[in-house]
């Protein structure tokens, strides 16, 4: 019996994943680079007809929508031999041994005058803008992660960490590529941990505080 219970979530019908159970050793945090609606993300993946996605998406309101069991897998890291070659390591299918969490969020923002715009040119309200003290991947402004989203991530990490015996110790190297991730070392990572061209998730102070508290 687990100490931490699975947080409340909404299940949807989704079939574009690999129904192959694997031992899980890693958890990766992503954001969607999209609007706040978690169901819209699942609708996009369904229409895309590819085995790409994460088992859960967390909407801005904190709602967790799950499309398939965490014991199964789909492609969510976008890795190839070249990424491992830079690390001096052979390719390893990390998608199979990891669980992906998606947070709905536009990601990096560009300031023009006194307004902020996402990468598709849509203005983001000032109330939803988060300013970093130090730029992350060349960007100082990002859409804010909501408190509800961070709390939902926390609940999932505590539950899956216990179920799969994944260590939840915070490591500050997860905001950039780290050899530990490529080796398959157990733990919690971000998409930045394996991709130099990704900005998700960014080092929001509340997210860092939450990860340190686990």
In the block, residue with structure tokens 């990424």: 83
Q: Would you say 188 and 173 are in contact if contact means Cβ atoms under 8 Å apart?
A: no
Architecture of the structural domain at 10-103+147-213: 3-Layer(aba) Sandwich (3.40)
DSSP state of 52: B
Tell me the domain boundaries of the chain: 10-103+147-213, 106-144
- pTM attached to this predicted model: 0.97
Per-residue b or e along 37-60, where b marks 16 or more CB atoms closer than 10 Å to that residue's CB: bbeebbeebeeeeeeebbbbbbbb
Query: Does the structure show a pLDDT above 70 at 199?
Result: yes
Tell me: the pLDDT tens digits for 26-37? 999 999 999 999
Residues 6 or more apart whose CB falls under 8 angstroms from that of 16 comprise 45, 46, 48, 49, 50, 51, 52, 53, 74
For the chain, the farthest-separated pair of C-alpha atoms sits apart, in whole angstroms, at: 55
Residue pLDDT, tens place only, 42-94: 999 988 878 889 999 999 999 999 999 999 999 999 999 999 999 999 999 99
């Amino acid at each position: 019996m687990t100490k931490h219970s699975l947080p409340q979530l909404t299940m949807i019908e989704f079939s574009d994943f690999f129904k192959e159970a694997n031992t899980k050793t890693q958890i990766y945090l992503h954001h969607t680079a999209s609007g706040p609606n978690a169901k819209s993300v699942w609708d996009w993946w369904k229409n895309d007809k590819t085995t790409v996605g994460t088992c859960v998406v967390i909407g801005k309101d904190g709602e967790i929508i799950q499309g398939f069991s965490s014991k199964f897998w789909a492609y969510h890291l976008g890795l190839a031999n070249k990424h491992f070659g830079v690390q001096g390591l052979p390719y390893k299918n990390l998608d199979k041994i990891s669980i992906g969490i998606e947070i709905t969020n536009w990601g990096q923002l560009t300031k023009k005058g006194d307004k902020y715009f996402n990468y598709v040119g849509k203005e983001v309200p000032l109330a939803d803008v988060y300013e970093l003290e130090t730029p992350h991947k060349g960007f100082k402004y990002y859409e804010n992660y909501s408190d509800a989203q961070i709390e939902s991530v926390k609940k999932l990490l505590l539950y899956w960490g216990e179920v799969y015996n994944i260590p939840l110790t915070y490591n500050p190297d997860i905001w950039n590529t780290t050899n530990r991730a490529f080796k398959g070392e157990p733990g919690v990572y971000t998409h930045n941990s394996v991709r130099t061209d990704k900005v998700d998730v960014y080092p929001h102070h509340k997210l860092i505080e939450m990860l340190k508290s686990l």
